[in-house]
Amino acid sequence: MLFPSNLGVLVMGKRVVIALGGNAIKQPEEEGTVEEQLRNVDTACAQIASIVRKGYDIVVTHGNGPQVGNLAIQQEQSKEIVPPQPLVILGAMTQGQIGYMIQQSLRNQLRGLNKNVVTIITQVLVDKNDPDFLDPHKPVGPFYTEEEAEKLIAEKGWTIRKVRNHDERPWRRVVPSPEPLDIVEGKIVKHLVDLGSIVIASGGGGIPVVLDENGDLRGVDAVIDKDKAGEVLAEAVEADIFLILTDVDCVKLNLGKPDEKNLRELRSFMARAYLKEGHFPPGSMGPKVEACIRFVEHGGEKAIITSLDKGLEALEGKVGTVITGS
C-alpha cells in the first residue's frame, strides 16, 4: 500500500502477516460467551489498528480451537435432532464466525481511514499421503467414557485415544495434523492486499483439502497447525514480516527454570538448533519457532514472536523475539 510520508512523498509500507493466538479470542478462564469473545477481539484489534495506522499492510490469521471444540460438543448433544456436521465443516463455520468478529471490530476501529476489511474462507492444500493420516495425534472435541469411545470407533471409524488418567472421561478423538503445502485462495488474498484491503484468511490453520484422483479438491477431517499455515500464507502474499502474537512477550530458553533466559534476537540456524535440542515444546512454542524459521529461510525479512499487547512495539524493535535468516 502507498501512504504519505512526512515529506508528502508516497512510500511503500511493509507487508505483515499477523497470526493471532487463542488468547485473542478466548481467555483460558472464560466460558467463551459471545460477549467475552467480542471483548477480547476488540482488544486484539486495537493493537492491529495501531499497526495499520503506522502504514503497514496487514493480513490477519487466527486460531479456532475453542470454537471448534464447542461446536463439536453441540454436534454430539443435538445429533438426535439435526444431522451432525464433520470436523472439516466445523472449521469452515468457525472461519466465518471469527472472521466476522475481527472484520467488524477492525472496521469500527479504523473508521475514517478508508480501509476495506474482508474475510476469505480459506482452503489449505495438504498431501493425502502425509504420514500423519496414518498416525493421527491431534486431540479435538469433547472427552468420552470408554463405552462411548468404543461405540464411536465402531460407528464412525474414528481414532480415539486415552489422553489423561484418573478420570471418568479420559478418551478423546484424535485427528491428523498434516503439513500445509499451499493456500488455495492465496492469489485472491494477495490481490486484495495489493489493492489496499486488510484480509483475514486461513483461520484455524485453514480448511484442509486434498486433491483426489480426478484432480478435484476434497475436504478432509484434520487440523492444520495455524502458525505453520500462517507461514505458508505469508509466503503466498509475499509478506516482509511474519508476526506471531501469543501469550508471552518473547521466546525463552529453559522456561520456568532458575536459568531461564529471554531470547531477543535469533538467527535461523540457532533457532533450529535450539528446536532440535528440545527447548521449545511441540504443543506450544515449537510450531511457532518452526514456522518462523521456514519464513525467513524462504526469503522473508524477519519473523517476530511476542505477546498480544506488544505487536507494534515488537515491529519497532523494542520487545519480542526477532528471528532472521542465517
Catalytic sites, residue numbers? 22-23, 138, 226, 288
**Distances in whole angstroms, Cα of residue 14 to Cα of each of 38, 54, 56, 243, 299:** 28, 10, 5, 12, 14
Judge contact between 118 and 191, C-beta under 8 A.
no
Q: Which residues pair with 60 in a beta bridge?
A: 18, 200
Question: Nearest Cα to 229, choosing from 266, 189, 269, 195?
Answer: 189
Rounded-to-integer distance, Cα 213 and Cα 32, Å: 41
